[in-house]
Structure 1
Amino acid sequence: MTKRFILSLTIALAAVSANAQFLFRISGKKIKAPSYILGSVHTLPGALLDSIPEYLEAEAKCQQLYAEFDISNQQKIAEAQTAGQQAISLPDGKTIFDVLNMEQMDMLNYRFKEVFNVNFTDSVMKAVWNYQPNVLITTFNLIFTSQEMQKHPELGMIGTPIDMFCINRAKQRGLSFGQLDEIQPEDKLKKMRDSLNAKIDVQVDSLVAFLSDMDHRKQMIADEMNSVATTGTYWKQGDYNSFAQSEYWISQVNKQPELFKARNERWLPKIKTAITEAPTMFVFGAGHLVGPSGVLQLLRNEGYKVEQIKVKR
């Protein structure tokens, strides 16, 4: 019985690890050589890739790399931060005190004191008084996420994260580099800012609801981080099917069409062009692989063969 159990366990583990970690080959449609997609988990260290022979073999064949954007380019990051700062600010001359009533401000101040140990109305917080209400929600979410990540040391970024790791190594090898996303031109940022400002009352309602139900929101983030930790396990095992079928990621993709579906569709022409130019490694978040609007299915719809690479034994 013991031998049978060990044999069954060995077979099960072999089945789970029969695929390389979210690594896919693109071929067909008369492209000269295959290209590859690495679905990344942004919190995992890139050094893990050195222990995956299938990835190293694919990487060596590629002549260019495309990532979501160049997170190694400090100037571009600074430009994006400046543009983003402009987009998330209230109209000139307005502060949060102009859009929240006294009762709402008291609630915000109470929660800030509870979470950050500082009164929002203190002068040390003056730099963020002109932020839109949604930015304050994001601020709370970031600290709650950070607190939850400390409970999952397996997600800690020990060393360089996967996406940055791939970008740095591609540049060291002298490969061509491309971005699937671009920093938005100033006119688009202005339109986005005007659109957001037109919905300030909706943002206020969202902020008040968030502050009133903060314990529940914290629990939601804890549940999400547990799901992300599970995703990291799936990735390390190469178990893409379990990842793609998980309720968490299906719901994330469906709830955020602009983050996933719309971006995937914008990326597709760049991907199709790149794979006709040269063997290319694409590195982006694994969530963009999932479902009928995922990059894998979009490529298949175009007639390409896309298959997860098997581990050699």
Structure 2
Amino acid sequence: MKHSKLSLALFVFILSFNFFQAQEKIGHENSVLWKIEREDLKEPSYLFGTLHMMCENDFAIPEKVNNAINKVDALVLEVNLTDPNEMHEFQESLSNTKKISEEISKEQYHELDSLVTEVMGVPLEAFDGYGLSILHAMLITKMLPCSTFKSFENELSEMASKSKKPVLSLEKASQQIEILKNAYPSDFAFKQLMLFQSYKKDFNDAIAAYKKENIATTVALITKEKYMDENATELMQIGRNQKWAEKMPQMMKERSNLFAVGAAHLVGKYGVIHLLREAGYVVSPVIK
């Protein structure tokens, strides 16, 4: 597999499995795009909740998002995939991966081998050197009923590049990789892999809900209790959201931005929408 495709797949794994254990449910209107305003801001910024991968036939950037990116000064992603230094760091991390056969027991290996052979058409041995996290990313691409898919982050980055707008980030690739390692110890990563068929159904149902801009249903489907534990919730979701909400105000003072992050980061008590509102910002849905 080419590095670029593998890199996208692993980023999708990191970005997609975001959890909301032990959070108060806070209602939100059905919208994937939100305007951020406050008196001290010269221009509003926008917050766009994405699903990181879709089949090409399902994929479409809403017109209101096109309008938003045309209005702002910069695009801000979770990680800047257009930065060669970021991608170099990320790809270096791929070469320092523990073998799958060294991460799990013989019994687990045999069980996983059956799943991988069924889904990928080749035995687990072919992927042994990739490690569990990268294998997980590769399996996610098999959850979609297509061979050609698109990413909001890639498409938005291309739009920003064409209009000569900078692409910035909320965190570094190296930070995401470190979080992933700590959030997904071997036994937990194995359990998530073995939930492939269940997550495949929920992931595709989430895409259908997302296309209707029903972010509550979208997030509920991909954050079911069986897909999470307290450790992953704190590391992958709550802690990152809090850091982003602390970083975003200074970025908004300097320029207007379109922040594009996974939809699961938007909602709930520790969601970015609520955290920004607590900080005094008016965050309102963009309906059209």
1:48 counterpart = 2:49: no
1:161 corresponds to which of 141, 151, 158: 151
1:61 corresponds to 2:35: no
Partner residue, 2:23: none
> 2:116 — aligned with what?
115
Paired residue for 2:196?
Answer: 221
Cα distance in 1 between the residues matched to 2:284 and 2:180:
38
Give aligned pairs, total: 250
Structure 2: which amino acid aligns with 1:30? D
Contact 1:42 1:162 in 2 (8 A): yes
1:293 is aligned to 270
Q: Deviations over 1:8-36 (max 9, x none)?
A: xxxxxxxxxxx785000001242111110
> Measured at CA, do residues 254 and 64 of structure 1 come closer, stay the same or move farther in structure 2, by a change above 3 Å?
farther
**Offset of residue 292 of structure 1:** 0.6
The one-letter code sitting in structure 2 at the alignment partner of 1:25 is K
Structure 2 Cα separation of the partners of residues 241 and 21 of structure 1:
10
Looking at structure 1, the residues matched to 32 and 218 of structure 2 have their Cα atoms a distance apart, in angstroms, of: 10
Amino acid at match of 2:268: G
2 CA distance for matches of 1:307 and 1:254?
Answer: 31
- How do residues 1-313 of structure 1 correspond to structure 2 at under 5 angstroms? 21-44=31-54, 48-49=60-61, 52-86=62-96, 88-89=97-98, 104-105=105-106, 108=109, 111-112=112-113, 115-116=116-117, 117-118=122-123, 120=125, 128=129, 135-136=131-132, 138=133, 141-142=136-137, 144-150=139-145, 153=146, 157-158=148-149, 160-184=150-174, 203=186, 206=187, 210=190, 218=194, 220-244=195-219, 246=220, 248-249=222-223, 251=225, 255=230, 256-311=233-288
Give TM-score, length-normalised by structure 1: 0.65
Deviation at 1:250, TM superposition (A): 6.2
Give the Cα–Cα distance (whole angstroms) in 1 for the partners of residues 152 and 50 of structure 2: 7
Deviation at 1:140, TM superposition (A): 5.4
RMSD: 3.8
- Give 1:162's aligned amino acid: F
For 1:67 and 1:229, locate their aligned partners in 2 and report how far apart those are by CA, in whole Å. Answer: 23
**Pairwise CA distance, 1:290:** 1.8
CA pair 163-240 structure 1, distance change in 2 beyond 3 A: same
- Alignment partners' CA distance in 2, 1:173 and 1:281: 14
Amino acid in the other structure paired with 2:140: T
Task: Tell me the distance in 1 between the aligned counterparts of 2:237 and 2:221.
Answer: 16
The Cα of 1:84 is off from its aligned counterpart by 4.6
Write 1 or 2 for the structure with the bigger share of helix.
1
Change (3 A) 1:76 1:30: closer
Percent identity between the two aligned chains: 17
Q: Conserved in 2, the CA contact under 8 Å of 1:25 and 1:309?
A: yes
Provide structure 1 residue ranges, at least 5 long, that are not aligned to the other structure: 1-18
Provide the rounded CA distance (Å) in 1 between the counterparts of 2:261 and 2:39.
23
Q: Distance in 1 between matches of 2:143 and 2:64?
A: 33
Structure 2: runs of 5 or more not aligned: 1-28
- Name which one, 1 or 2, has greater alpha-carbon Rg: 1
Change (3 A) 1:307 1:113: closer
Residue pair 1:253, 1:287 contacting (<8 A) in 2 also: no
Shift of 1:294: 0.7
| Aligned amino acid, residue 174 of structure 1 | K
